[in-house]
Structure 1
């Protein structure tokens, strides 16, 4: 176990160091260049290279490095199948903090974000999303028995002493603030284990994330005296805010997004998408036919 952990850590450190070099080189090559015309040529370039650089946040079960230093998770595995169908054989993992994924894509650090990123109107202004391949309700990780009885962000807002933890860059902070939770009562954490530990050590009273993420985090700490509240869809300005995960590209790359969406639709129709994602805790309940156009056109919270 110790050796596997060290291997994984060395992989991440090495990949991060290499990523910085890629940023520098790519930034120089992109300076002064505008958007590609006619839907972009990314797919053709990836086919020539035979590989695609995937930005991920090392967040299980969405995209993470396993003990064998291999990129896996629902997003990489779905992407791997689709890219093979599109004639691109290899995925190159580029780790990033979740909150830095969009900026990393913009400077050319990677070709695509594959991290289960939620489609929101504000993000749609910066990147081009594929159609989502899953939907996941929100929930809270709380002490066993849910002593404060919270079930929604409105419940958190109504309790002036409730301290809420969220993941850096994730949508839950926006949902909480839109529901009336002051920013002063919201603490961001870098990853799921940090949020879980914050609840355990009474630094926060609850940690908000998707049910899928929280179940995965708690499965690794089954002895922890914690529980997950029932899942719910946040309501912001009277509208449901669906947490629907998708892949993201630069806004000028409509050709590859169209090709990706076509393959994704075929995976959904055949049931293969669920078969790919099931090992990571996904079920039929998380499958969706929502489109990125629907999610991008919703009013910003």
Structure 2
């Protein structure tokens, strides 16, 4: 993988520089994904409409967005690999993937580990319950009920810590598809996460579930990049702008979510900016 080789080369160069007491190279000499000849991109493999494994292929809105961004970077040699929510930072930091496009909400804590391009979409957190459940009409109705979230996600904690709602239990499953199975089996009362994720699962089995359809947060989906790669961040933002301006984003949203009834956002998101927050990064253990 290009970026993995980049890390190995960078480590060798740094070691040699230390040995020979050479001055450090300038920021202008740093390698960046903008120069990549190939990319390995992490996407979800179990989220219908976003990233789903079908046969030997991974398909969905996130996959198509990642492919568009890679093309705008001038890269046609692209490999997609599955990642879970819990794996995203580590796979970027280790160099197993060069980029992550996997419903990756931008948060201050995550910004200390990776650099984010985008967001490429702003989703809203909502709630999915079993069909016929009429007692949950908003997030406050989750008081005393059990909620499932995917491992590595913050969605249920936004309800408890962010809004102060006392749910009876938070279950963490290995993925959101596992949460949906628990909801179907009656093991939890609700699954709460981004509405694009929930819409994909609802479209798969509309007779089993229903949307509460009362969103309560904005979730900014970012493109995860190696920490400090400002040039790649700026190139990604330019690509995302073009994706909305040329109509591709709207067409992809229609393709993957047009039949769900979800009211999607078609305007260019407001970008976070690409400055490197050196003073905020946590030391790695």
Tell me if 1:214 matches 2:195.
Answer: no
Alignment-derived partner of residue 163 in structure 1: 146
Quick one: which of 86, 103, 119 aligns to 1:99?
Answer: 86
Q: Which runs of 5+ in 2 are unaligned?
A: 15-23, 278-285
Paired residue for 2:213?
230
For the 8 Å contact 1:137–1:243, the answer to whether it is kept is: yes
Q: How does 1:53-132 map to 2 (within 5 A)?
A: 53-58=40-45, 59-67=47-55, 69-132=56-119
Aligned residue in 1 for 2:264: 285
How far has the Cα of 1:60 moved from its partner?
A: 2.8
TM-score, normalization by structure 2: 0.79
RMSD: 3.1
Q: TM-score w.r.t. structure 1 length?
A: 0.75
| Equivalent-residue separation in structure 2 for 1:97 and 1:132 (angstroms) | 19
Mapped to 2, the partners of 1:181 and 1:107 lie a distance apart of 36
Shift of 1:205: 0.8
Secondary structure of 1:137's aligned partner? strand
Could you say which residue in structure 2 is the equivalent of 1:42?
A: 32
Q: SS at the partner of 2:42?
A: strand
Find the counterpart in structure 1 of residue 250 from structure 2: 274
Tell me how far 1:90 sits from its aligned partner. Answer: 2.1
> Would the aligned equivalents of 1:40 and 1:254 in 2 still touch at CA under 8 Å?
no
Residues 60, 41 of structure 1: alpha-carbon distance in 2 compared, 3 angstrom cutoff = farther
Taking the aligned partners of 1:35 and 1:62, their CA distance within structure 2 comes to 40
Cα distance 1:133–1:185, how it changes in 2: closer, same or farther (>3 A)?
same
Q: Distance in 2 between matches of 1:36 and 1:191?
A: 42
Where does structure 1 lack aligned partners over 5 or more consecutive residues? Answer: 1-18, 235-241
CA distance in 1, matches of 2:228, 2:57: 30
Native 8 Å contact 1:166 1:173 kept in 2 = yes
The 1-side partners of 2:62 and 2:68 are apart by 10
Note the alpha carbon deviations across 1:74-118, whole angstroms, 9 max, x for none. 122122123223221022112222211111100111100111211
**CA gap 1:150/1:44 in 2 versus in 1, 3 angstroms:** closer
**DSSP 3-state at the match of 1:286:** coil
Deviation sequence 1:258-285 (CA, Å, 0-9, x none): 1121122122222222123321116773
